[in-house]
Amino acid sequence: MTTSIHKLEQEMALIRTEFSELRQSYSDMHRKYSSTLSGLNDLTQHASESAQQAADAAQYSAQCTERCLQAATHAASQATIETAQAASDAAAAAAHSAMQSAASAASASAAASLAVAHHAEAASAQLSASAANASRRAANYAAQAVMLSNKAAEFVRKVKR
């Protein structure tokens, strides 16, 4: 009987040790998971902000392109071909900037989506949707800038004829 009690005590000590190791392992894993989740949340936040800023940059580029179109039109009406050409070139550069901003917004949106794929939290999903919306806005502004740039170039071609 003493032997079986001694064996039970040994098994109980072994179970306590294993349980303690499991508890420590769980605690370590939980700490690492929380840290990773926090990092992904930060990544999602930054990607969303980046997409918003890129969309704003695309909007400013589209506005610049529109003003360049107005300058080209005004210069063309006064037969100042060099000024019209410069305005047209500036419109093209602004349109290129808008396209680069749209690409940047798309990349940030993809990063936010990737972060959401790694951890499905409502806040991250909302930020990802916001980044996707910013990417869509940037693409629309880039398209508008390209259209206006083409109009400016067309004015210059007409004046040169």
Which residues, other chains included, contact 89 with Cβ-Cβ below 8 Å and sequence gap of 6+?
none
124 pLDDT band, cuts 50/70/90, is low
Contact 68, 94 (CB under 8 A): yes
pLDDT of res. 145: 77
- Angle, in degrees to the nearest 10, between helices 122-160 and 81-118: 160
| Predicted confidence (pLDDT) at residue 27 exceeds the cutoff of 80 | yes
Q: How far apart are CA 30 and CA 39, in angstroms?
A: 14
Q: Per-residue confidence at 79, pLDDT binned at 50, 70, 90?
A: low
pLDDT score recorded for residue 123: 64
What is the pTM (predicted TM-score) of this model? 0.56
Tell me the pLDDT tens digit for each residue of 29-45: 888 878 777 777 777 77
Q: Among 88, 61, 64, which residue's Cα sits nearest to residue 74?
A: 88
CA-based R_g, the chain, Å: 30
With DSSP H G I counted as helix, E B as strand and the rest as coil, what are the percentages for the chain, rounded to 5?
A: 95, 0, 5
Average pLDDT of the residues in 14-30: 88
Confidence of residue 5 (pLDDT cuts 50, 70, 90): confident
* Domain range summary for the chain, segments of one domain joined by +: 40-160
Q: What is the DSSP string of 97-141?
A: HHHHHHHHHHHHHHHHHHHHHHS--HHHHHHHHHHHHHHHHHHHH
Task: Please give the mean pLDDT across all residues of the chain.
Answer: 76
For residue 85, pLDDT over 80 is answered with no
In whole angstroms, give the CA distance from residue 99 to residue 152. Answer: 17
Measured from the Cβ of residue 64, the count of other Cβ atoms closer than 10 Å reads: 19
Lowest mean pLDDT among 31-35, 48-52, 113-117, 154-158: 113-117
